[in-house]
Amino acid sequence: MLTVNFQSIKSKQGLIKNLVESTKPDIVLGTETWIDSYVKDNQIFPPNYNIYRNDRNMKGGGVLIAINNDQLSTPVPELQTNFEIVWAKISLAAGNSRFEVDFIIEALGIVLEENTFYFDWEMYMQIKGSAMGNKVASSYANLVKGFLEKQMYEKVAEIFDPDFQNYEENNWKRYLDDCIIFWTRSKEDLIKFRDLLNTLYKIHNGDKRN
């Protein structure tokens, strides 16, 4: 799996072709595609990939997922929101994958937990969290944030009125694992929303902090 910041995918066809041919990734996660709906899939990626896109415009933004045709993939429109994200589902049919699911999970555990790095000619191990330089960490963080966001929207619908739901959808922004919300509502709503977010963290991490 590759994670690529394209910064104009259409203008870098030669580089993309060489990258894909040399690495043969099953999945490519791309940001900053800088394209719009007038640009066709076959203009930006080799034909043996299914492309799932959420374009902004030719001046910036845009994300995509490219999945090799060897993998059975489908879009997941029910997870789409007003934010600049895109979802796709891969079905790992028996005998149709180069790797077993258990192997992938075990490999991810090794990559995310065995974080070693050099500093001042000494080797260290990071004992908590995933190293920022780890190539899979950003994809992992993006998946976790997407999962937590889905829970957040469901909880907001349960706790807040429709006016607040609309406000949150229009003002909550995220890029990978960095989130921001532009707040113009009351302090009471802010505390209530903060407590909701902290509840999600506790549920999925066993955290006991107040």
pLDDT digits (tens, 9 = 90+) for 187-197: 999 999 999 99
Q: How many helices (H) and strands (E) does the chain have?
A: 5, 10
Q: Which residues pair with 72 in a beta bridge?
A: 91
Q: CA-CA distances (angstroms) from residue 203 to 154, 198, 200?
A: 14, 9, 5
The answer to whether residues 74 and 130 belong to one domain is no
Tokens of 159: 């706790």
Q: Report if residue 210 sits inside a domain.
A: no
* Inter-residue contact 181 to 171 (CB < 8 Å): yes
Residues 82 and 130 in one domain: no
Structure tokens at 40: 């066709």
CA separation (Å) from 20 to 3, 45, 97?
12, 9, 19
**Do 130 and 141 share a domain, yes or no?**
no
For residues 71 and 150, membership in a common domain is answered with no
Residue 210 has a pLDDT of 42
CA distance 66 to 10: 14
Mean local confidence (pLDDT), 120-130: 77
How many domains is the chain built from? 3
Q: Tell whether the model's pLDDT for residue 116 goes beyond 70.
A: yes
pLDDT at 31: 92
Q: Are both 67 and 9 inside the same structural domain? A: yes
Q: Which amino acid is at 133?
A: G
Note down the domain range covering 57: 2-90
In angstroms, what CA-CA distances link 163 with 5, 44, 110, 156, 188? 35, 40, 44, 11, 15
More confident residue, 18 or 205: 18
120 and 192 within one domain: no
149 and 70 in one domain?
Answer: no
pLDDT at 96 over 60: no
Q: HEC profile for 71-130?
A: CEEEECHHHCCCCCCCCEEEECCCCCCCCCHHHHHHHHHHHHHCEEEEECCEEEEECCCC
- Residue 149 shares a structural domain with residue 182: yes
